[in-house]
């Protein structure tokens, strides 16, 4: 079991990511739920599972199972990424591994899209949110999506990952130009987590 770096309570929900941006978005989305959100590192878990699933759903479940078993706590894990129609769905589950850093990932995407016209740049963010409690054998997965288009150049400084090049057609802004609240209200992660919330509530009831 774990050596706790922060106090755990019977309302601790482990968030199965060490990505600080994701963890912050998830904590904000769960802030009204009266649960204590902790990351693996905060409770002394330094190992990570190999994300070798074929789908977002497989990877989210694999992470939530791994961290729930390692900690003995309920775990919510998200696996997410960007699917671009003109690239046959790439980068997809490989979104975080498309290049070493966020700016390099964006540059690779823009290079691959450089000859793609404005009306063929449709894309979507996808998030699979898995809630696993190894003790009660609970396993829930919900999927959220957010439709948009790949911009021709990065705009905005909020968010993370591909946000500066993911344009929301109805508002004409990239995800990185939205406030955190505006992003959470419409993002793939916001949608998936709102669908999981009732299950979190019943786990802690
Ligand atoms: P993973 O779920 O940790 O495998 O990584 C998902 C990757 O997809 C991130 O590292 C980002 O590159 C990308 N991604 C997922 N969600 C978002 C988002 O909300 N905004 C921008 N990029 C995202």
Give 45-60 pLDDT, tens digit per residue.
Answer: 999 999 999 999 999 9
**Considering the domain boundaries, does residue 1 fall inside one?**
no
**Total structural domains within the chain:** 1
pLDDT surpassing 80 at residue 198: yes
Alpha-carbon 163 to chain mean position: 12
Per-residue model confidence (pLDDT) at position 176: 98
Cα 70 to ligand 1 centroid, rounded to whole Å: 24
Q: At what angle do helices 20-29 and 188-203 cross, to 10 degrees?
A: 60
Cα 51 to ligand 1 centroid, rounded to whole Å: 13
**What CATH number corresponds to the domain at position 78?**
3.90.950.10
- 95 in contact with ligand 1, CB cutoff 6 A: yes
**CA 26 → CA 22, 59, 60, 102, 130, distances in Å?**
6, 17, 14, 20, 12
Structure tokens at 25: 């978005």
Residue, of 143 and 135, whose pLDDT is higher: 143
Residue, of 8 and 75, whose pLDDT is higher: 75
CB atoms within 10 A of CB 100: 8
- 12 in contact with ligand 1, CB cutoff 6 A: no
- 164 in contact with ligand 1, CB cutoff 6 A: no
**Considering the domain boundaries, does residue 130 fall inside one?**
yes
Name the region of 152 (left: φ>0; alpha: ψ -120 to 50; beta: rest). Answer: alpha
**Considering the domain boundaries, does residue 18 fall inside one?**
yes
- 40 in contact with ligand 1, CB cutoff 6 A: no
**Considering the domain boundaries, does residue 2 fall inside one?**
no
CB atoms within 10 A of CB 153: 9
Q: Is 109 exposed, middle or buried (0-12, 13-18, 19+ CB in 10 A)?
A: buried
Per-residue model confidence (pLDDT) at position 1: 39
**Considering the domain boundaries, does residue 152 fall inside one?**
yes
**Considering the domain boundaries, does residue 3 fall inside one?**
no
Per-residue model confidence (pLDDT) at position 2: 41
**Considering the domain boundaries, does residue 24 fall inside one?**
yes
pLDDT class of 158 with cuts at 50, 70, 90? very high
**Considering the domain boundaries, does residue 22 fall inside one?**
yes
Catalytic, 46? Answer: no
pLDDT surpassing 90 at residue 162: yes
Beta strand 138-150 pairing with 122-133: antiparallel
Per-residue model confidence (pLDDT) at position 9: 73
The pLDDT tens digits of the residues spanning 27-43 come to 999 998 989 999 999 99
Range of the domain at 109: 12-203
Per-residue model confidence (pLDDT) at position 7: 65
């Amino acid at each position: 079991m774990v050596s706790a770096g922060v106090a755990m309570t019977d309302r601790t929900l482990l968030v199965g990511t060490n990505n600080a941006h994701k963890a912050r978005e998830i904590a904000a989305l769960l802030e009204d739920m009266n649960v204590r959100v902790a990351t693996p590192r905060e409770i002394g878990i330094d190992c990570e599972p190999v994300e070798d699933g074929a789908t977002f759903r497989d990877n989210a479940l694999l992470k939530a199972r791994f961290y729930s078993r390692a900690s003995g706590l309920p775990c919510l894990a998200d696996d997410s990424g960007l699917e671009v129609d003109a690239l046959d769905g790439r980068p997809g589950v490989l979104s975080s591994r498309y290049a070493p850093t966020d700016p390099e990932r964006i540059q690779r995407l823009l290079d691959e899209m450089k000859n793609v016209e404005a009306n063929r740049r449709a894309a979507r963010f996808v998030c699979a949110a898995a809630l696993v409690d190894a003790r009660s054998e609970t396993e829930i997965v919900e999927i959220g999506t957010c439709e948009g288009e790949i911009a021709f150049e990065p705009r905005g400084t909020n968010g993370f990952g591909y946000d500066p090049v993911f344009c929301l057609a109805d508002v004409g802004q990239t995800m990185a130009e939205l406030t955190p609240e505006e992003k959470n209200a419409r993002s793939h992660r916001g949608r998936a987590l709102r669908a999981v919330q009732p299950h979190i509530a019943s786990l802690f009831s």
